[in-house]
Structure 1
Amino acid sequence: EKSQHSSIQLEEFLAKTDNAKSGHVHHGKSSVLIVTLNTINTVVGGGILTIPYTVYQSGLVLSILSIFLSMLFGISSIYVLVKCKEITGHYGIGTIGYECFGRKSIFIVYTLTCILCLGLPSSFMIIFSDAATPLVEKMLGVENHMIRYLILAIC
């Protein structure tokens, strides 16, 4: 009875979302190619920009250890997510969270998603401005710490 009650709550929640109101409900129809390209874009792009600096700052042994631990956490997270998908029958992280932990989990999932969506581009802009500042200073023939802030403002 509890699972039937939670399924009814989930259907009510989905009925209130904008996607359901417009008649468009996404059921995991992304192609494997699109998902693969998005994953490669995020992981490789972030890795190319951040791993060299991380290795330089923390040393080779600590860097390899932290990369290995990140890999283990990533694998275990994907395993748990796939198991939850199989148990609940839902594809979205928000709906899986709702099914497993109730209404509060939706806010947690979407808050973390917003932080990721704001944090990742911000870190890319900071890394880009760090790399571009010496180039712009050399091109203009000046050394001014305000150039970095100008580059950040343009980004």
Structure 2
Amino acid sequence: MLVIEKETYDAIVAHARKDHPDEACGVVAGAEGSDRATRFIPMLNAAMSPTFYEFDSGDLFRLYKELDERDEEPVVIYHSHTATEAYPSRTDITLAQEPGAHYVLVSTRDGADAPAYDGPVEFRSYRIVDGEVTEEEVRVVGSYTETLEGED
């Protein structure tokens, strides 16, 4: 299950809407081994495409160097689909190289890209390991502290 803070959830959705009609992409980092997505890092879609996303190789190199220096890892790797459902494409599955990450997809189809849109947004999370896709529940919380207090 992906547990994500509402502030981070909102930031991912806002980024997807802002970059529409191109796909948005980014990472939410967290302390190694914590599974807590705490640092939102929007990235530039170097492909600038409505049907494909690609991290700039230089930006990606700098990101992984910074993650290493901060003892962080990519907890969430996200991107948007602009005209289709929030489900990984064959290309998404092939490119998934972080077996411990939650792969989040947001669909901005059917008007969900509009800033004033108040309908439901398709926000789904998957684990992708060795080409195998498993959808997981998404739980949005006010804060991780709230989550800890609610657990027994």
Which of the two has higher C-alpha Rg? 1
Higher relative contact order (CA 8 A, sep 6+): 2
Superposition TM-score, scaled by structure 2 size: 0.21
Superposition TM-score, scaled by structure 1 size: 0.21
Higher-helix-fraction structure: 1
